[in-house]
Amino acid sequence: MAKKKAIITGITGQDGSYLSEWLLSKGYEVHGIIRRASSLNTARIDPYFDPESKNFLHYGDLADGIDNLIFEIKPDEIYNLGAMSHVKVSFDVPVYTGDVTGLGATRILDAIRRGIENGILDPGVKYYQASSSEMFGTTEPPQSENSPFNPVSPYGCAKLYAYHMTRAYRKGYKMFASNGILFNHESPRRGFNFVTKKITKTACRIKLGVQDSLTLGNLSALRDWGFSGDYVRAIWMILQHNEPDDFVVSTGEYHTVKEFAEKVFEYLDLDFGKYVRYDKSYERPNEVPALLGDSSKIKKVLKWKPTVDFNMLVKMMVDADLEYEKFILNSPSQAIFFDAKKKGGKK
Ligand code: NAP
Ligand code: G4F
């Protein structure tokens, strides 16, 4: 039987790397869209795409559209994970966020529509949209598929537009187009400027004596944090379902940013109060106070459930960061780079 083909946008990101790993383990031919960058941006996927398989990575950008790649590859499944994904940054680049995170989805959906109509693509091609709990914004928790959306950030608004376009194309053109409404999910591969990773990495550096404090913004925000590895399994299951649909993916447990940080410092045997500082510059113009997902539907319909709880997630991230930071300290060539960074001041 021919291998199933998948295209992943955002393959260089946290979820893109876990999803690549998962799909390759299932025997898929995985194609990824990468952006040209002045420094290499493929570190998360290098273990899965060695130089021999470089022909499966293609330059592209959601602002430009990836129509030609879709028509050439003729995928069975398209996972649209690419996005300007940082909520606070979206207030700095609202138009760009709308273009990439919002319109980027429409560019793909419409390429699929044209591809099917012109006989280039199989009508059964499946599309996954990486929708976000940020779309709920100020809606009271818990939030489910039936809760109202009240986004308060340019990112949340762009994601909500993409969510509705996915549903509109599903209804209007009978396309297999599904939304996963994922609540926050983290891992050792999480980008540094998200709060969990910033806390675990900085706390490890404090433990090793190479940094003296951790500066954060709003400590009282509540988030439902899961593990990216569990969530990409849900993403794949959503596209294997016998019909297109929308599903909330979450753990059903929430904690404040402060609780996450306290847990990390406690695990490292450090005094939280001694090292953590507040800086208003990390606050957003609008805050999303509380996200707590009700994922009863995906548990019932697809039999998905998370395997990693809050304590396991904290431990997994701290263990990985401690190992990495020790490696940097003990590796002579990296140490030169590390010293230069230290002299360069704070991050
Ligand atoms: P991430 O680590 O920030 O990865 C984002 C990916 O999008 C990166 O590969 C990035 O490429 C790519 N990208 C950015 N701008 C692009 C553009 N103009 N054209 C093409 N690709 C572009 O995000 P993630 O945590 O893996 O999340 C995956 C998706 O799920 C995103 O759409 C995110 O908004 C959504 N989501 C995430 C969460 C979460 O908690 N993680 C929750 C709900 C929804 P570079 O590597 O070159 O920057
Ligand atoms: O880690 P965060 O930046 O995640 P946020 O804003 O919830 O967004 C993430 O989850 C969304 C799902 O709901 C995704 F769609 C999105 O792509 C992204 O993955 O911030 C979490 C909380 C916020 O309330 C923020 O105000 O932490 C608070 N916070 C406090 N100090 C901070 C900091 N956030 C960051 N990034 N950095 C801080 O220093």
Pair 167, 70 in one domain = yes
* Ligand 2 pocket list (CB less than 6 A): 85, 87-88, 132-134, 183-184, 193-195, 198, 216-218, 221, 223, 257, 282, 284, 287, 291
Judge whether 114 lies within some domain. yes
Q: Specify the pLDDT at position 1.
A: 80
Pair 10, 23 in one domain = yes
Judge whether 134 lies within some domain. yes
What is the CA 26 to chain-centroid distance, rounded? 21
Angstrom distance (rounded) from CA 272 to CA 265: 6
The CATH number assigned to the domain holding 171 equals 3.40.50.720
Judge whether 268 lies within some domain. yes
- Whether residue 104 is predicted with pLDDT greater than 50 in this model: the reply is yes
pLDDT grade, residue 52 (50/70/90)?
Answer: low
Threshold 0.85, pTM exceeds:
yes
Pair 90, 216 in one domain = no
Pair 96, 244 in one domain = yes
Pair 215, 155 in one domain = no
Q: Residue 276 belongs to what domain range?
A: 195-222+254-286+309-341
Pair 211, 330 in one domain = yes
Specify which residues 216 forms β-bridges with: 278
Per-residue pLDDT of 309-337, as tens digits, reads: 999 999 999 999 999 999 999 885 664 44
Pair 213, 170 in one domain = no
* Ligand 1 pocket list (CB less than 6 A): 9-10, 12-16, 33, 35, 37, 41, 61-63, 81-85, 100, 130, 132, 182, 184-185, 191
Distance spanning both ends of the chain, measured CA to CA:
51
The CATH number assigned to the domain holding 213 equals 3.90.25.10
- Interval 251-262 mean pLDDT: 98
Q: Is 145 a catalytic residue?
A: no
Per-residue pLDDT of 199-252, as tens digits, reads: 999 999 999 999 999 999 999 999 999 999 999 999 999 999 999 999 999 999
Pair 244, 125 in one domain = yes
Number of domains in the chain: 2
Pair 74, 204 in one domain = no
- Whether residue 168 is predicted with pLDDT greater than 60 in this model: the reply is yes
Q: Is 155 a catalytic residue?
A: yes
Angstrom distance (rounded) from CA 301 to CA 247: 10
Beta pairing, strands 222-223 & 176-182: unpaired
